A and B are shown apart, each in its own frame.
Chain A
Amino acid sequence: MESRNLNILLDANILYLEDDVDLSKHTTDILEDFVHKIYSVETIKDALEIIKTKKIDLIISDILLENENGIDFLRDLKTKNISIPAILTTAHTDTKYLLDAIQLKVENYIIKPINIKELLNTLHDVLLPIVQKKQIQKNINIIKTISAITDSKQVEVIKYIMHNLDKENILVTSYSDIIDKISISKPTLIKLFKELAEKNILVKTAYKTYKFNEMALDNI
């Protein structure tokens, strides 16, 4: 298994629901080195309290609790329209809970005794899309902000170029095509293309054909 970048866990808040106090203690001791904050609870009641007051990114729950059931807890959350990704742990290898778990769209299902590496990898896998989503949102915000303070015509030309790239990052177009779409003066357009060509970002390879060089962006 490839080693993952566990640093993305450092910002995560995790709720850990486990009735075996010993196990809970030892697991928490290990996990707290990797995450922002871990809340260990023994009952569903406590767990609900934490969810109400704190921002939780992920839930780890045992299935068989003292007189309670982790599955019921997750179902309860779903009916309350609280959607937090969850990982179930169980000592039972039988599949009778598996079906319930799948219906609840649980992210993963770990058999006890817990392998800590497996748990960490699972945490990473579950949290990664969330972190990435956040990152993308951030970038979008950056671009929008930049476009707000710079020449809007040039931004539109860049947008046009990006939209018309094919799979091999090849752009087939002419100045007049662009001028038809965007009301920009020809000298400005030529200047812009020249600038991009100088920085090796958009290189002319043939007549009306340009190649977009992704690698060049890193050198700026």
Chain B
Amino acid sequence: MKLNDIFAYFNKLNFEIKTKFLIFIISGGMFSIVVLSLISTFSIKQDFDKLFEQRTTLFVKLENMKDAYKVNIQDTLIDVENNSITLEDSKEVINLAKQLIDSNWQEYKIATDSNNTPIIYLTDFIKKILEPDIPNKKNLILKSNVITNIDKKIILINKILSEINEKNIKKNFSNLYLEINAINIYITSLINYDLSLAINEKRETQKVFNIIIISSVISIILVFIFSIVLSIILINNFRYLHKMLEVKIKNKTKELKKLNNSLEKRVIQEVSNNRKKDIIMFQQAKLASLGEMLNNIAHQWRQPLSSIIMIIQGFQTKMSMGKLTNEYIENKVQDALLLANNMSNTLDDFKNFFSPDKAKSSFFLHDCAEHAVELSKYLLDKQKICLKLEIRCDIELNTYYNELSHVFLNIISNSKDALATTTIKHDKMIKIIISKYKNYAIIHFIDNGGGIDENIIEHIFEPYYTTKYKSAGTGIGLYMSKQIIEKHMSGFITCKNIYHKIDDIHNDKCSLFIIKIPIEG
């Protein structure tokens, strides 16, 4: 259960944390293995060093003692017996041997005393665990016995050697040989003892070594297993994540596809809607200008209509007063007919303007311009705008009369709107200049309405772009004008802001529209 809990907890962990954990485990395991192996190697080396130094050097010393007794003392004495050398000479050699033995013996004793100080803790620790009762201690009594025996023998030999003189050589020699052999036997037993100790130690070291090897192998295996388990968990996790992501992506892709499809449909729908709107807007624009024109007609009709009504009422009142004369009737009928005729003409003007006549016709440009000016006169008068038409040359065009006058009207109407909102001190003016350049008819429209805002000047020919409040403009006038000039007449229409002395006195900021229409033939 607990393990499961841990796994569950681990699964819940963040992906990044999991990978970090894995890296930590693997590197930690590696590190611990390396450290462990290093420690064990060093400790084993230490053990072997100890074995070699402590035991073998001791053997050498004991062997030296044996050699000194056998070679230096016994052989010298044999030489003395055979009279090869004198006793005096032999004493010198024996003394030398005695010194050698003493020094070796002392060194050996010091070495065995300092033997027990542990240097490496790890191996001792393992050894203590393996064999709680150290066998060295049992045999220490035996060893000290041997050592004391050797001490006694050394003293005895020394005593015998010092007593040696020429008289008792024979007797002492046999005694001495006996003692030397005895001491040699003791030393040999000591050597054997040390040897067995060394063998024991070697065996222990072997054991320690085995344990270390086993434990490191186990730890390596543990780390390995742990890493593998972790990796498996992680890989499973990856797989799970991957699957989940795949499912998610599939779902998202489906949704996207759906969205795409619906979007496509919507785009198509919107495009068709837009086209419908376009058509409606065009119609609205036309209706708007129609409304403006109707307003114009209404005003132009109102005055003659008032007069005619007055004339008709005049007949009635004159009749009731008895003052209705032939002359009066004649005069008034003449007047009324004239007025009615004017009204009829006005109507014709507008009718022509809005006729759906699409045929090209030949006409003078200034006629068309004058017509447009005439049609917008009422609106300009209302805003107290002065319009100047400057015709520099007569140009005959063969194009769509109505469309062109429509464009003129549009631009004049635009200028009028700009001038209506301007706060200019002196006269508001629109100037139209008709001129010719190369094979183009050039028409300039200048008004001192303060020019066009630099931010919007690039957009004014775009459809539905309007700066007027909603009811006044549809935003389609200039767009339509551009379409007419560029598509129908293959001309150009541009606009810019200039500074111009429109009334020859004040240098005003003006907007300038330029229309270029190619003259055919």
Contact = CB atoms under 8 A, between A and B. Distances in A.
Contact of A33 (B309, B317, B384): B317
A182 interface: no
A22 B304 contact: yes
B313 A116 contact: yes
A117 B311 CA distance: 13
A206 interface: no
A209 to B, nearest CB: 52
Interface string B339-369: 1000000000000000000000000000000
B106 interface: no
A113 interface: yes
B310 A114 contact: yes
B302 A22 contact: no
Interface string B286-305: 00000000000000001111
Contacts of A29: 314, 328, 332
B307 A26 contact: yes
7 tightest Cβ-Cβ pairs between the two chains A and B: A26-B310, A113-B309, A116-B313, A22-B307, A113-B306, A23-B307, A30-B314
A195 B321 CA distance: 48
Interface of A: 20, 22-23, 25-27, 29-30, 33, 67, 91, 112-117
B321 A23 contact: no
Contacts of A117: 313
27 contacts: A20-B303, A20-B306, A22-B304, A22-B307, A22-B335, A22-B339, A23-B310, A26-B311, A27-B310, A29-B328, A29-B332, A30-B310, A30-B313, A30-B314, A30-B318, A33-B318, A33-B323, A67-B384, A91-B302, A91-B303, A112-B306, A113-B305, A113-B306, A113-B309, A115-B313, A116-B317, A117-B313
B317 A22 contact: no
Contacts of B332: 26, 29
Contacts of B304: 22
Given A33-B323, A115-B313, A116-B313, A23 B306 contact: yes
B265 to A, nearest CB: 50
Interface string B231-249: 0000000000000000000
A112 B308 CA distance: 12
Nearest to A27: B310
Nearest to B303: A20
Interface in B419-438: none
A114 B323 contact: no
Most chain B CB inside 10 Å of its own CB: which residue of A26, A114, A117: A26
A67 B386 CA distance: 13
Nearest to B322: A33
A26 B304 CA distance: 11
Nearest to B302: A91
Given A112-B302, A112-B306, A26 B335 contact: yes
Contacts of B316: 116
Nearest to A33: B321
A23 B303 contact: yes
A67 B321 CA distance: 37
Contacts of B317: 30, 33, 116
A20 to B, nearest CB: 5
Interface string B319-336: 001010000100010010
A29 B323 CA distance: 11
A67 B381 CA distance: 9
A114 B318 contact: no
Contacts of A112: 302, 306
Nearest to B314: A30
A29 B432 CA distance: 43
A22 B303 CA distance: 8
A190 B209 CA distance: 175
Contacts of A20: 303, 306-307
Given A33-B323, A113-B309, A26 B303 contact: no
Contacts of A27: 310
Contact of B310 (A33, A67, A91, A116): A116
Contact of A114 (B303, B309, B339): B309
Contacts of B318: 30, 33
A23 B306 CA distance: 7
A27 B313 CA distance: 9
Nearest to A26: B310
A160 B332 CA distance: 62
